[in-house]
């Protein structure tokens, strides 16, 4: 993901005449359409959507066209919502960022704080590898199963907490489990009550496979088959984990559309969910044990300097899906792209959208 930040910086500092900025985005979109990009792009500034367009297919099998309001699997963009749940628990006095994980969850890995989990500095091993090796894939696993297998098999940690940054889905499984422990509530229900409903995010939820199938506006993820045709990603064996790990909570599984994500983006400038002081902590890079910065906060990658000042962002990837949200905090500029055919043009559109964010 760091290479994407470098691309944004490179493109953002090129001086482009204002009259050419919209043309750059238009040409990038036209190229993407010619090359079969399927997705939705939204560009906004100062609480106003400047550009929104859908292209491609909701489902290739029946040639159903994609629309701006269609719902996508967000994959790891979900982590920013999990981090917010922890921040809300902290403001409610239910936990502290520097509390030890062992205060809430029993694991064979001592010395890990809630802050380590939020910032991917825990050193925890990958839960999916352990589950893939030992789990009966005729059953659907959830967080309690993942925690049980981590305790039973206790794979070796990658490093001591705080020594370095290493992206960890395991850490975000544990964060969701901590939320359930301190609230006594189901994480899925609580996220709906604490975040989605208050912000009017009517199209956003953590959905089961059955619930996704019942949503007519759900954009299926697609991959190319051996003949070069786009087919539903669930037909590939490599996608099976989304089924047998289908009850996991925390690292992914939120589904939403572009306009709901924009509501979320705008709410983060307010104190509707947590205080601005807590949000500032979320946008602060973690200091590692050796004094260097990891540049990941609470569910956000952080770049202190960019073409438009401080930038935070996150990407997501699931079979057939690529997603990204880029937020220029100092100028309230936002780029959201949701893609459902794992297309290589994704970042080219981000670059073009960044270039377009001048005067419209």
| Rounded Cα gap, residues 198 and 68, in angstroms | 22
**CA 317 to CA 323: how far, in whole Å?**
6
Q: Which of 38, 76, 122, 294 is catalytic?
A: 76
Return d(Cα 6, Cα 2) in angstroms, integer: 6
Rounded distance, CA 191 to CA 175, Å? 13
Distance CA 21, CA 27 (A): 10
* Cα 220 from chain centroid (whole Å): 17
Query: Are the C-beta atoms of 123 and 290 separated by less than 8 Å?
Result: no
Q: Are strands 39-45 and 333-339 parallel, antiparallel or unpaired?
A: antiparallel
CA 100 to chain CA mean position, Å: 25
Q: Is 76 annotated as catalytic?
A: yes
Alpha-carbon dihedral 164, 169, 175, 178, rounded to 10 degrees: -120
**Active site (catalytic) residues:** 76
């Amino acid at each position: 993901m760091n290479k994407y930040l470098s691309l944004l910086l490179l493109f953002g500092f090129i001086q482009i005449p204002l009259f050419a900025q919209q043309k750059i985005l238009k040409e990038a979109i036209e190229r993407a359409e010619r090359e079969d990009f399927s997705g939705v792009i939204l560009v906004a500034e100062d609480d106003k959507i400047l550009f929104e367009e859908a292209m491609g297919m909701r489902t290739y099998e029946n040639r159903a066209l994609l629309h701006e309001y269609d719902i996508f699997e967000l994959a790891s963009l979900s982590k920013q919502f999990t981090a917010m749940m922890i921040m809300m628990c902290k403001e409610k006095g239910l936990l502290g960022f520097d509390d030890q994980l062992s205060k809430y969850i029993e694991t064979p890995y001592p010395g890990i704080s809630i802050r380590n989990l939020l910032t991917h500095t825990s050193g925890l091993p990958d839960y999916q590898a352990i589950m893939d090796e030992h789990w009966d894939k005729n059953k659907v696993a959830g967080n309690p199963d993942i925690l049980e297998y981590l305790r039973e098999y206790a794979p070796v940690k990658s490093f001591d907490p705080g020594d370095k940054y290493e992206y960890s889905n395991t850490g975000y499984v544990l964060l969701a489990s901590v939320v359930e422990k301190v609230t006594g509530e189901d994480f899925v229900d609580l996220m709906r009550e604490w975040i989605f409903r208050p912000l009017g995010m009517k199209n956003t939820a953590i959905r089961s496979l059955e619930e996704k199938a019942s949503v007519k506006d759900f954009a299926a993820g697609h991959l190319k088959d051996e003949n070069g045709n786009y087919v539903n990603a669930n037909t590939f064996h490599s996608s099976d984990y989304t089924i047998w790990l289908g009850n996991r909570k925390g690292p992914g599984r939120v589904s939403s559309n572009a306009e709901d994500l924009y509501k979320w983006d705008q709410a983060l400038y307010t104190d509707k969910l947590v205080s601005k002081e807590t949000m500032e902590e979320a946008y602060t890079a973690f200091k590692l044990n050796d004094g260097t910065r990891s540049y990941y906060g609470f569910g956000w990658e952080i770049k202190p300097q960019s073409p438009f000042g401080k930038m935070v962002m996150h990407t997501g990837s699931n079979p057939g899906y690529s997603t990204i949200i880029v937020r220029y905090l100092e100028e309230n500029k936002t780029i959201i792209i949701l893609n459902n055919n794992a297309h290589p043009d994704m970042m080219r559109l981000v670059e073009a959208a960044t270039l377009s964010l001048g005067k419209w």
